[in-house]
Amino acid sequence: MNQEKALVWFRRDLRDHDHAALSAALSNARQVYCAFVFDTDILDALPSRQDRRVHFIHASLVELDAALRARGGGLIVRHGRAADEIPTLATELGVGAVFANRDYEPAAKERDAAVAAALQQQGIRFHAGKDQAISDRTEVLTQAGKPFTVFTPYKNAWLKRLTPADYAEWQCAGQLAPSQLTGVPTLERIGFGATDLENIGIRPGMSGARALWNDFRAGRIVRYGALRDFPAIKGVSYLSVHLRFGTLSIRELVRTAVAEEASAWLNELIWRDFYFMILDHFPHVVGHAFKREYDAIRWADWPAGLAAWQAGRTGYPLVDAAMRQLNHCGWMHNRLRMVVASFLSKDLGLDWRLGERYFADQLNDFDLSANNGGWQWASSSGCDAQPYFRIFNPVTQSEKFDPEGKFIRRYVPELASVPDKYIHAPWAMGRIEQEAIGMVIGRDYPTPIVDHKKARDETLARYAVVKKTC
């Protein structure tokens, strides 16, 4: 095989700058090819052929292909099983090495191992390096040399070892090689259709990421800690889908956070590394509780309760507004992700995995590590120093983080006429008051499907079985 030729396999890193695998290939080979595979192992498992994430990837690939063509290369795009397509393509091109960026999901690690083995049989090397995380694998460990299982000690160790080299930009200068460039196939060609990305305000690709990032860092990054918990306020970055698909570099975000001393924002980026690390070291979290004793919990069997939660028809305004936001645009504010997750597992008594699965289907920014970590945090089965009796009160959360009910009224318009005094618990209004504003509980908006105080007592009893086994 020609050691002067290399192939870069793009996955969840859809940009042509500050890209570890691309930089490594350009540094080690004279001819560098670039490829992406629409992996049928992933696509065939999706619940709909109208998937915003596939649409986002497709549009981002069109932009990436144009950027690579401007540099003399372009994307070779295949549709099939990546485990088959990459070794086949590498052999066809006669490359000596394939470069990719590490993925921490169990299925991805299994896929990469299969690709590496197939390439090795052909005498082709496979290199997978760190790109989507600042610290990974064994770079941040306890003094005993073990992975951390609680965030705060991990964060402290992460910050202690951080140096400018960890977030330095990877240079990607060099000549790219064009080959078999037929452009990015249409969505229809791979069996999918266009979605409403434009209508819900999502601009894919590196340009979309850059626009959001410039807007956030211009005025909000230093105020992130004060604004981030209020869903009616433009306080967060809205970059999650771009981080998920790598249309901008995590290193650039960390560089700016450090330079601006934006500790609250940096803290969120550390959480991202933390959940990557947990998934990498403890793959049993996929399908099981991180704290294995929590698998003993006997969850309620209540399909109607699950359906009401999914539809935003629980009778709790903040929970319903959050779920309707998710159903409308495939995104949910982080504070609300915690509120609705706590409500599902600790008010409705339903298995957290049901919520995790629903989020996985609905979220544009779905990332297995963060989604699993967040759901297990909320259900107290994951990496959390707080005990299981931390149960969010959906009314007090509403009063604290949406005090005027602006977010609620945006997504639950049937409550638009409810006075601020009752917007968080409209059932507290008398019947005469309800009739006067034309909004009757049980007719125009659901009666709460559970009593929070009673549900809290039932949750404590349900979790007591865990306490006995500890």
Mean per-residue pLDDT for 267-274? Answer: 98
84 and 222 together in one domain: no
In a domain, 187, yes or no: no
- Please, which pLDDT band fits residue 101 given cuts at 50, 70 and 90? very high
Rounded to an integer, what is the distance from CA 18 to the centroid of its chain? 21
- Please, which pLDDT band fits residue 387 given cuts at 50, 70 and 90? confident
- Please, which pLDDT band fits residue 342 given cuts at 50, 70 and 90? very high
Here the contacts of 353-356 (C-beta below 8 Å, separation 24 or greater) are: 353/287, 354/306, 355/309
153 and 246 together in one domain: yes
47 and 126 together in one domain: yes
For residue 97, what pLDDT is reported? 98
For residue 385, what pLDDT is reported? 66
Rounded percentage of the chain residues whose pLDDT exceeds 70:
98
Digit-coded pLDDT (tens) for 126-148: 999 999 999 999 999 999 999 99
The residue range of the domain holding 106 is 2-130
| Contact yes or no for 364/393 (Cβ under 8 A) | no
- The better pLDDT of the pair 443, 464 is held by 443
For residue 1, what pLDDT is reported? 47
126 and 136 together in one domain: no
Pick the last residue of a domain from 130, 153, 176. 130
107 and 246 together in one domain: no
69 and 140 together in one domain: no
User: pLDDT at residue 77 above 60?
Assistant: yes
- Please, which pLDDT band fits residue 348 given cuts at 50, 70 and 90? very high
For residue 93, what pLDDT is reported? 96
Pick the last residue of a domain from 82, 104, 130. 130
139 and 231 together in one domain: yes
442 and 455 together in one domain: yes
Mean per-residue pLDDT for 253-271? Answer: 97
In a domain, 14, yes or no: yes
Mean per-residue pLDDT for 361-383? Answer: 96
414 and 456 together in one domain: yes
CATH number at residue 321: 1.10.579.10
User: Helix (H, G, I), strand (E, B), or coil: what is residue 31?
Assistant: strand
Residue 176: Cβ-neighbour burial (10 angstroms; 0-12, 13-18, 19+): buried
In a domain, 188, yes or no: no
Which residue matches tokens 């403890």?
282
| Contact yes or no for 331/351 (Cβ under 8 A) | no
User: pLDDT at residue 390 above 90?
Assistant: no
Backbone dihedral angles phi then psi of residue 7, each to the nearest 5 degrees: -120, 130
In a domain, 195, yes or no: no
Pick the last residue of a domain from 216, 246, 281. 281
For residue 3, what pLDDT is reported? 67
156 and 250 together in one domain: yes
CATH number at residue 229: 1.25.40.80
- Please, which pLDDT band fits residue 48 given cuts at 50, 70 and 90? very high
Instruction: Quote the pTM value.
Output: 0.96
404 and 273 together in one domain: no
Residues designated as active site: 268, 271, 299, 334, 352, 375
264 and 122 together in one domain: no
Q: What angle do CA 204, 74, 18 make, to 5 degrees?
A: 60
Question: Which of 291-300, 373-382, 460-469 comes out lowest in average pLDDT?
Answer: 460-469
For residue 468, what pLDDT is reported? 65
Q: Output the average pLDDT for the chain.
A: 96
In a domain, 173, yes or no: no
Tokens of 11: 């996955």
Digit-coded pLDDT (tens) for 284-301: 999 999 999 999 999 999
Residue 62: Cβ-neighbour burial (10 angstroms; 0-12, 13-18, 19+): middle
Mean per-residue pLDDT for 441-458? Answer: 97
Nearest in space to 162 (alpha carbons), one of 282, 222, 250: 250
Domain count, the chain: 3
